[in-house]
Amino acid sequence: MSAQATLAQFLPEYLSDLTVRGYSRETLRVRGDQLRIFLEYCQERSATEPSAITLAFVERYARHESSRISEQTGRRLAATTAIHRLSTLKSFLGFLVKRQAMLFNPALELEFPRTGKHLPRGVLTAREVEHMMLVPDILTPCGLRNRALLELLYSTGMRRSEVCKLNLEDMDFGGGSVFIRQAKGHRDRITPVGKRALFWLQKYLEEARPAMSDSADAALFLARRTGRITPAQVSFVVRTAREACGIKKPGAAHILRHTAATLMLENGADVRYVQQFLGHEALSSTQRYTHVAIPALKAVHAKTHPANYPERDP
């Protein structure tokens, strides 16, 4: 492709390059969407060729992204969202340099927005989770599937993208575990599954899954019309159960992941075991849950810290 090609013409080649390098379909979808937002911004300003992308142009785009209002929430985009989009842009421009469509990557000089350390927003109590489990109508195939799905998410702390990728062969009922393939960071892992979740999964497989429209599919969880269940459908199941219980805490599928990690820590689990359970590469990602598990810490503090005892006369 010549150096006169437009930015938009390089996008398919960039995504193809990511495919060859082993990036997941979800990553390709997200990066493609992010870059189309950038290309639309460029088109509106008649900056359609690589030569038009300067440091000043990229800085203006970064400010634009930082001030953008989300159509879904009505609030400014989170700093992490802006960072992800700018990181994708940096990668794309680097690809253009390799293809000799640009002399240098102006995004290398870009200062990314700063982010603070945020605690998980939605953490349920054990009682709230139990109420959610009772919402699905287990007398229907979809309701029984939803109960099994909720139980597995809570038992394993899986991400919604991970549970959507599960195949029948990934469940080890005898060993009480599930094989999670190509999770975040392209890492496979095996995580334990509780007895109650295994019971509902077995019941779903025997009584509900055969009634699904595409029961020959290898996927563990099926939807009636789409075959393999989608991330959006997983979020819908969790959000519906949460709202049916009148729980106002924010979050959908990830709320069960946050809750599982927090309650395990409150019940005495070592943070490194929880790190392995969640599939975190860095311990710092898991340690934020130790701040959420503050009630247990306060109880220990009240019992053991000398300052909590009445002053004694010397």
From the list 85, 160, 165, 257, the catalytic residue is 257
289 is catalytic: yes
CA 258 – CA 154 distance, rounded (Å): 9
Q: Which candidate in 160, 165, 209, 280 is catalytic?
A: 280
Q: Is 154 tagged catalytic?
A: no
Catalytic residue among 145, 159, 160, 242: 159
258 catalytic? Reply is no
Closest CA to 41 of 22, 20, 65, 18: 65
Question: Is 280 known to be catalytic?
Answer: yes
Check 31, 145, 254, 258 and give the catalytic one: 254
DSSP label at residue 167 = B
Q: What residues are paired with 69 via a beta bridge? A: 76
Scanning the structure block, which residue is given the tokens 């295994």? 198
Q: Rounded CA gap, 1 and 5, in Å?
A: 7
159 an active-site residue?
yes
Buried b (16+ CB within 10 A) or exposed e, 134-159: ebbebeebbbbbbbbbbbbbbbbbbb
Catalytic residue among 289, 303, 305, 312: 289
Which one of 68, 84, 131, 184 is the catalytic residue? 184
Pairwise CA distance, residues 296 & 291, whole Å: 10
Is residue 227 a contact partner of residue 261, using CB atoms and an 8 Å limit?
no
For residues 39 and 46, is the Cβ–Cβ distance under 8 A? no
Q: Could you tell me the CA-to-CA distances from 291 to 123, 264, 296 in Å, in that order?
A: 12, 13, 10
Catalytic site positions: 159, 184, 254, 257, 280, 289
